[in-house]
Amino acid sequence: MKRMTTSILCTFLAATLLAGCGSNNNTGNAGSGEGDKAVTEKAKSVTLKMFIAQPRFKEHYDKYIADFVAKEKADKNIDVTVQLEMPTADNASQILKTRLASNDAPDIFAIHAVNEIPSYYKAGYLEDLTSQPFAAKLLDSVKPSVTTTDGKVVALPLETLTWGYLYNKTIFSENGLTPPTTLTEMKAVVEKLKANKITPFVLSYKESWIPQLVLPLAVGGMMNTKDPEFVNKMNKDAASFTEMKSAIFDVFDLINSNGTEKATEVGGDDGAAVFAAGKGAMWLMGPWYAETILKSNPDLDFGVAPLPINDDPNATLINLSASTSLAVSPTSKNKDVALDFLNYVLDDEASNAFFQSLKFNPVATIHTYESYPWINDAMTYVKAGKSVQDPAMPQAVKDEVGKGLQAYYAGQLSQDEVLKALDKAWKSFNKVNK
């Protein structure tokens, strides 16, 4: 009996192996078949290497690339073979850096727009894409994220973020509240919530990138009103974070003194669960946690609103930035085809469905699909001009502020010490990147 089972299993295994080979052979044959045909028409064949660290979207990319290959064949009679590499996001940037440093750059690769473009551009790994047709289609709110300081578009944004803080719409409407536009109004909202025995804020500071979120909002707001040259001045070592002191800490203190307890033990996922359970009315967080929130409470009605940092309503702004973006290597041997692909990503007809299936936000004028309610909330603010580009602060400063604000919350650092550490981080960034 046992031998019987074994032999059946063996047969099955062998069969699957053969089947696997079979399907490979089939595709191989099909490919060479097309190749034969192409030879008669003297088609050019080209291999395009792509490096996109989003394995969760593999099917979508595969399908879109297949469409592109068909289009390229039809339009220009080029046989394109695409080698798509999709490592996990954790080690992708390490792999990519190794490739670039060893002159083995993929033709098209994905990088983080705000964090990585400056250093990659400086090292000469990004092709200038300003004159490409797609650049003209980008939304004005998105374009600055992929533009270098000297005004060149060097990447195509795929994922964009529009965020401020999240609020529980049900709690707000039950208490007759609307998102406040100034800090005084915010204080009134907090008082009203407290009077009705509702904790105003969910705090989750275990991971240092969460308290860090207050900095882009504060600096963005200030740069749009009183201090437009802040980042430029900081890059020249000519300013200090003390200018931002009240912008950062007035609202941060308000949030901290009216939040849930044990914040240093609550991470992002736990915070999402607390917020989804309605244990706090607001949460300093972007809509990228929407999926997690809806998983623990599918009926939660929440929205995105800009965080007030002082009593100037013009400083209460939604933050706009881009993350995953596609860039082309200047050393690519098939640059024309690579550029064709980038333009195809924002193709007038095909692009809409692609971005919608990936659940990305609209990035170009040609995107007309319906997005999520919370994205629409944010876009309403953006359309009303209540938005600001994510200030181009060095990653080191963002890391430092997360650690600093964590320590500030735990009572280990004073406000001035936090600001001093930020100044130091920016100075050392200037020194390293001279």
Partner 1 sequence: MPVKSYKKYISLLAFVGPAFIFYAIFLLIPTVAGMYYSFTDWNGLNPNYSFNGLANFIEALREDPDFVNSLLFTLKYVLFMVVLQNVLALMLAVFIESKTRTKGFFRTIFFMPNMISTIISAFMWTFVFSQVLPQIAEKTVMKFLDQLWIGDPKYSFYSIIIVSLWNGVGYMMIIYLAALQGVPQSLKEAAHIDGATPFQAFRNVTMPMITHAITICFFLTLNGAFKVYEVVYGLTGGGPGRSTQVITMNIYEEAFSNNFRYGYASAKSVILFVIILIFTFIQIRVMKKKEVEA
Shortest Å, Cβ 396 to partner 1: 4
Helix%, strand%, coil% for the chain, nearest 5:
55, 15, 30
The per-residue DSSP string of 327-348 comes to EE-TT-TTHHHHHHHHHHHT-T
Shortest Å, Cβ 346 to partner 1: 28
Shortest Å, Cβ 30 to partner 1: 40
Q: What is the DSSP letter of 283?
A: E
- Interatomic CA distance for residues 352 and 364, integer angstroms: 10
In the three-class reduction of DSSP (H, G, I as helix; E, B as strand; rest coil), residue 159 is classed as coil
241 contacts partner 1 (rule: CB under 8 A): no
Shortest Å, Cβ 98 to partner 1: 9
Shortest Å, Cβ 213 to partner 1: 16
The per-residue DSSP string of 345-362 comes to HT-TTTHHHHHHHHTPPP
- Interatomic CA distance for residues 421 and 290, integer angstroms: 33
**Helices then strands, each counted (H, E), the chain:** 17, 12
Q: 127 near 341, Cβ under 8 Å?
A: no
Shortest Å, Cβ 399 to partner 1: 5
Using the rule CB under 8 A, which residue among 7, 412, 414, 416 binds partner 1?
412
Binding string, 258-297, against partner 1, x = CB under 8 A?
----xxxx--------------------------------
Q: Which of 132, 130, 85 is nearest to 110 (CA)?
A: 85
Distance of CA 41 to the CA centre of its chain: 43
410 contacts partner 1 (rule: CB under 8 A): yes
Binding span for partner 1 by CB under 8 A among 139-147, 163-171, 190-198, 391-399: 391-399
Footprint on residues 172-231 left by partner 1 (CB under 8 A)? 205-208
Shortest Å, Cβ 404 to partner 1: 7
10 contacts partner 1 (rule: CB under 8 A): no
In the three-class reduction of DSSP (H, G, I as helix; E, B as strand; rest coil), residue 380 is classed as helix
Using the rule CB under 8 A, which residue among 146, 394, 415, 423 binds partner 1?
394
Residue 100 corresponds to which tokens in the numbers above? Answer: 């670039």
**CA-only gyration radius of the chain, Å:** 25
119 contacts partner 1 (rule: CB under 8 A): yes
- Interatomic CA distance for residues 290 and 166, integer angstroms: 9
Phi then psi for residue 222, to 5 deg, are -70, -40
Shortest Å, Cβ 410 to partner 1: 4
Nearer of residues 207 and 311 to partner 1, judged by Cβ = 207
Residue 206 corresponds to which tokens in the numbers above? Answer: 């275990």
95 contacts partner 1 (rule: CB under 8 A): no
Nearer of residues 253 and 336 to partner 1, judged by Cβ = 253
Host H or E run for residue 160: strand 160-163
111 contacts partner 1 (rule: CB under 8 A): no
> 């309610």: which residue's tokens?
373
Using the rule CB under 8 A, which residue among 175, 182, 235, 428 binds partner 1?
428
- Interatomic CA distance for residues 86 and 53, integer angstroms: 5
Shortest Å, Cβ 149 to partner 1: 17
371 contacts partner 1 (rule: CB under 8 A): no
Q: Which residues contact 15 (CB under 8 A, 6 or more apart)?
A: none
Shortest Å, Cβ 409 to partner 1: 7
- Interatomic CA distance for residues 394 and 419, integer angstroms: 15
257 contacts partner 1 (rule: CB under 8 A): no
Nearer of residues 102 and 368 to partner 1, judged by Cβ = 102
Binding span for partner 1 by CB under 8 A among 6-14, 95-103, 130-138, 243-251: 95-103
Using the rule CB under 8 A, which residue among 282, 309, 337, 413 binds partner 1?
413
Binding span for partner 1 by CB under 8 A among 41-49, 227-235, 355-363, 398-406: 398-406
Rule CB under 8 A: which residues touch partner 1? Answer: 94, 97, 100-101, 119-120, 122-123, 205-208, 262-265, 394-396, 399-400, 403-404, 406-410, 412-413, 425, 428-429, 432-433
